[in-house]
Chains A and B, each alone.
Chain A
Amino acid sequence: MSAATYTISRSTPVSRAAAVAGLILCLFLAAAPWWAGRADLRLMSEIFLYLSLASLWNLLAGYAGLVSVGQQAFVGFGGYMLFAFTMFLGVSPLLAIPIAGVLGAVVALPVAILIFRLRGAYFAIGTWVIAEVFRLVFAQVSDLGGGSGTSLPIDVVKSIAASRSARESTSYWLALGIAVLVIAVAFLFLRSRQGLALTAIRDNELAAKSLGIDIWKTKLVVYIVTAALTAATGALIFLQKLRISPDAAFSVNDWTAFVIFIVVIGGIGTLEGPIIGTIIFFALRETLADLGTIYLLVLGLVAIVVMLRAPKGLWGMLRAKVGIEFFPLARRVVKPSETQDGRHGK
């Protein structure tokens, strides 16, 4: 047979079914304000916000190999931009969120130029140092409460919508929207030419370089896109919290340690991993958080066990066994006679 009769397939029956089910589920979730209670809406919003943080960190660490422990810099920056723009310039919170995203990208550029000079463990520590610098800088801005922090004026919150239920629905849709946006951006990015370069870098940086991929530029694009979306997510997070202080905004535990836990548990370097990880994290938190320090001990134990038993995370283990993929990212060579089942043609 000549090579021309072979085709390349990316989707599989499972992934096509997942796409349809995913679309239906998105619509179902978008209708949540009509079927879920207020507490459920709030919890689901938080789940979506963590899901987007985890997906973004996964893109950064799992694909671009940029293991950052300083993403709280952009979460906090986004939160502070929301407060600054709404309180001092009277911008609507809904508009302040994309503004926070754009400004996140703007500050990410000089930060990237600085820390991309570092590699491996030095890069990780560098990102943390940058986040601490952000925290200390915002602690000096007395108009934003300095080290004490400040609350979002009630009028600003009420400007989103007049009625309480409309406000709650809006903030829920924003959280769902950002999670869908982040996953869509990650998916489309990975399927693009840039994404192919990224996957090559993930698998072997030296080989990728020898094939002529501009590693520095590819990583820079990922870093800046991630920073922008992380800042927008941060603005949304603090729109829910209503109060910001440097320690809360730049908390390494809340915005990086838990996020790394989610990604590592779920499966780093896959789009499905952060979703599984987020579900596990919230299932643990909702059942165990009242136990105080025991809760944190359990989290640590789970992380250790998963890292030892399933180093590629739960999704990685499942995929190795069953071979399914909901997000069609891999390419498969398909023989003309075998167009229906792409799974074994890999």
Chain B
Amino acid sequence: MTLFDSKNQISRRKLLAGAAVGLAAPAILYRTRAYAANPVIKVGHVSPKTGPLAGFGEADEYVIAQIQRLFNAGLQNNGKTYTIEIITKDSQSNPNRAAEVAAELILGEEVDILVGDSTPDTTNPVADQAEVNEVPCITTNCPWQPYFFGRNGDPAKGFEYTYHFFWGLEDVIAAFLDLWGSSGADKKIAGLFPNDADGNAWGDPKLGLPPALAKAGYTLTDPGRYQPLSDDFTSQISAFKEAGCEIVTGNMIPPDFANFWSQAAQQGFKPKVVTIGKALLFPSVIESLGDRGDGLSSEIWWTPNHPFPSSLTGESSADLANGYMEATNRPWTQPIGFKHALFEVTADVIRRTADLDDPQSILEAIRTTDLTTVVGPVNWAVGPVKNVTKTPLVAGQWQKQGDKFELVVTANKHAPEIPTTGEFKLLS
């Protein structure tokens, strides 16, 4: 036809069309495969594997390979065996890219279920795409307030297609208070909250740390939201020194904390307790601080000592962590448990769905989930708001044992099923 008859002339438009068709071809191939004789259920997964949030995705390769091996054997649903295919995409730690790959998974791969994890920059754009494109979506590894309110969620209405499991700010506040209460430090707190999704939620004057701390009898010095990737914390440090703060808390990214902590040393600010969310999760960060990393404390969402076995493999949390450490020669990290749990929930939903061709039926199975995963119970019938359910949270401290840092659980008042593994020590 007109587009192809004049063969000797290459018009730029034809080149464009050719490229567009060429790029689209894989999508068409996938689509035909989805309806092949051997039924396949596709699970799309989005997480940060490169960029500043790469620590969260460090264990992806290992965990997903392990799960995919299990899924290759197939899952039973209504007496029929389904093969499960996981397609994982890198968000590059960029919310724009997260939205784009989520849309690719939904529209191109036509995934049946979309899952995502790690920080609001991943969970929120992924869930937004799922909600608009009407695909069932499960996310984790982001406190529920930035997930729910950050997406303009209305507690009365909730969302239709998107579900989330993790803990919330009220849990982290309770765990921190538990940790500090037994520490013996003065009740004067320094707050460091950045102007980002987590920082705004944690420092929120109504829903965040400030009102809870006041109620528990602490005085908070909050110098206001700082811009992430700041290189100067002098004004904050002098405000904290003036107020005589003995405890430092907040939610920071690792480079900001490293800056703050070395400037605190230079300027002679010596708090007795430093409990920071997000920055102190990964062993690599603590090691990079050298001896100054000893004694820092953090929230703990999962450890190899969690008493829950995997519903998928039957192995204990310790087995899961050891398997990772043996295979990669790297220390365990907390996201391992949540990544594993995310696929535990997915497998459980696929097994229980009445009609896997119907998204509404998949949603019904998500809503009626009642499963104990390696990170604890997941059940959307009980939760602070619709679409959200919570897993247990404890707090603890990095302690140098020999030449290695261990994350020790020291405060478990609100989740006594998770055992403590050591005593809290004040910073020298």
Residues of A within 8 A of B (CB): 14, 17-18, 21-22, 24-26, 28-29, 36-44, 46-47, 136, 139-140, 142, 145-154, 157, 164, 240-243, 245, 247-248, 251, 253-254, 272, 275-276, 279, 282-283, 286, 289-290, 292-293, 326
Contacts and interface: CB of A to CB of B under 8 A. Distances in A.
Contacts of B89: 290
Residue of A29, A282, A286 with highest tally of chain B CB at under 10 A: A286
A85 B49 CA distance: 35
B67 to A, nearest CB: 18
A189 to B, nearest CB: 19
Contacts of A254: 94, 96-97
Contact of A148 (B19, B110, B200): B200
Contact of A25 (B6, B17, B151): B17
B146 interface: yes
A151 B154 CA distance: 12
B11 to A, nearest CB: 4
Nearest to B194: A147
A148 B152 CA distance: 12
Interface stretch (B23-31, B369-377, B412-420): B23-31
A22 B12 CA distance: 8
A147 B150 contact: no
Interface in B1-37: 2-3, 6, 9, 11-17, 19-20, 22-24, 26-28, 31
B195 interface: yes
A251 B95 CA distance: 10
Contact of A24 (B2, B23, B121, B195): B2
B245 to A, nearest CB: 24
Interface stretch (B130-138, B206-214, B277-285, B344-352): B130-138
Given A21-B14, A40-B28, A292-B49, 14 more contacts: A17-B11, A21-B9, A25-B3, A25-B11, A39-B24, A40-B20, A43-B20, A147-B200, A148-B201, A164-B133, A241-B125, A242-B132, A282-B23, A286-B26
Contacts of B132: 154, 157, 242
Nearest to B96: A248
Top 10 nearest A-B pairs by Cβ distance? A39-B108, A147-B195, A25-B13, A148-B197, A39-B107, A40-B24, A21-B11, A38-B107, A39-B27, A279-B19
B197 A292 contact: no
27 contacts: A17-B9, A18-B12, A21-B3, A21-B13, A24-B2, A24-B13, A25-B11, A37-B107, A40-B24, A42-B107, A44-B24, A47-B20, A139-B227, A147-B194, A148-B197, A148-B201, A240-B103, A243-B124, A254-B96, A276-B12, A276-B15, A279-B15, A282-B19, A282-B23, A286-B23, A292-B49, A293-B50
A242 B103 CA distance: 11
Interface in B194-232: 194-197, 199-201, 225, 227-228
B11 A243 contact: no
A242 B125 contact: yes
A292 B3 contact: no
Given A245-B197, A290-B90, A292-B90, A148 B150 contact: yes
Contacts of B150: 145, 148-151
A241 B200 contact: no
B28 A151 contact: no
Contacts of A241: 95-96, 99-100, 125
A283 B124 contact: no
Contact of B95 (A26, A154, A245): A245
Contact of B200 (A24, A25, A36, A146): A146
Interface in B317-347: none
B194 to A, nearest CB: 7
Contacts of B236: none
Contact of A243 (B23, B95, B194): B95
A44 B21 CA distance: 9
A153 B94 contact: no
A248 B92 CA distance: 12
A251 B96 CA distance: 9
Contacts of A150: 150, 152
A238 to B, nearest CB: 9
Contacts of B27: 37, 39-40, 43
B13 A151 contact: no
A47 B200 CA distance: 34
